[in-house]
């Protein structure tokens, strides 16, 4: 049976896609609501609950136009200028991360042997999510369509680890990102399985604040590998921690959003949602 939360997410995703494709025509509330088979009143309330702003305001800040404007204004200094466009204080996610720790060579080689991993499923602003943690930090976070399939993917990454379905404090701290209750947010640590190059790319992604965008090429330059844009793209695609490591903030130099491991529509929603939050602050 499909849960109501999944039905609602699909409706909001469909609405976002429609707005993205038709923003130049400025579709009305009634028109968008009709596309997702809801009354205007119900759609307005549901959209606002999920996205945080009304459909009309989201339309004003369509993510495509936002991305183009950012690229036009910041050009080649986009990555450095991103710091100036982000939220202050706790709104800048990279300030919340005090440590990104790679697994030891032994842990990496032994595929998680003797490693205990807690995991749980939760609802987030952008759909159901699986979050997993070791005693050192978050090791995996992924958006979920099928719980069994998502857990199997986690097991494949750490085939020799011991798994327990339990919510711990490390996971709770990470999930506060989605509830936006910054007062309850302690420092978040990440415990990641990756190569030295991947860890460097993922660490660089943490420096892109909410509302900021950058390009693959700019990240390659920032890690002093200007000819490694393709390798950077691969490392970004292998990001094991959705949203917390904000790979959704990396777009093509042309202004196109490019691919996203957890779906292009979800990436569109994230960028638009963050653009609105930034403009409000």
Known catalytic residues? 247
Tokens encoding 128: 């159901």
Tokens encoding 221: 């330059």
Q: Are the C-beta atoms of 29 and 57 separated by less than 8 Å? A: no
Q: Are the C-beta atoms of 220 and 233 separated by less than 8 Å? A: no
Tokens encoding 43: 């759609």
CA 137 to chain centre: 18
* DSSP string covering 12-32: HHHHHHHHHHHGGG---HHHH
Other Cβ atoms within 10 Å of 242 Cβ, number: 25
* Rounded Cα gap, residues 82 and 203, in angstroms: 15
* Rounded Cα gap, residues 61 and 49, in angstroms: 17
Q: Which residues contact 28 (CB under 8 A, 6 or more apart)?
A: none
């Amino acid at each position: 049976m499909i849960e109501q939360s999944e039905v609602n997410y699909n409706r909001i995703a469909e609405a976002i896609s429609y707005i993205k494709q038709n923003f130049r025509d400025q579709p009305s509330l009634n028109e968008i609501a009709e596309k997702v088979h809801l009354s205007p009143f119900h759609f307005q309330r549901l959209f606002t609950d999920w996205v945080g702003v009304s459909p009309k305001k989201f339309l004003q800040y369509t993510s495509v136009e936002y991305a183009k404007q950012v690229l036009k204004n910041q050009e080649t200094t986009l990555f450095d200028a991103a710091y100036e466009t982000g939220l202050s204080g706790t709104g800048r996610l990279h300030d919340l991360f005090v440590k990104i720790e790679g697994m030891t060579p032994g842990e990496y080689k032994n595929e998680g042997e003797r490693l205990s991993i807690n995991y749980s499923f939760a609802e987030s602003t952008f759909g159901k999510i699986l979050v997993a943690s070791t005693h050192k930090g978050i090791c995996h976070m992924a958006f979920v369509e099928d719980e069994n399939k998502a857990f199997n993917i986690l097991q494949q990454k750490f085939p020799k680890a011991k798994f327990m379905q339990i919510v711990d404090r490390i996971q709770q701290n990470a999930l506060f990102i989605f509830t936006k209750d910054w007062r309850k947010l302690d420092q978040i640590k990440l415990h990641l399985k990756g190569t030295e190059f991947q860890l460097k790319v993922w660490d660089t992604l943490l420096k892109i604040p909410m509302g900021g965008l950058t390009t693959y090429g700019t990240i390659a330059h920032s890690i002093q590998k200007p000819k490694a844009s393709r390798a950077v793209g691969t490392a970004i695609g292998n990001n094991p921690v959705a949203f917390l490591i904000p790979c959704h903030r990396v777009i093509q130099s042309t202004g196109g959003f490019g691919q996203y491991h957890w779906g292009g529509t979800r990436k569109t929603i994230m960028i638009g949602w963050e653009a609105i939050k930034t403009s409000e602050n």
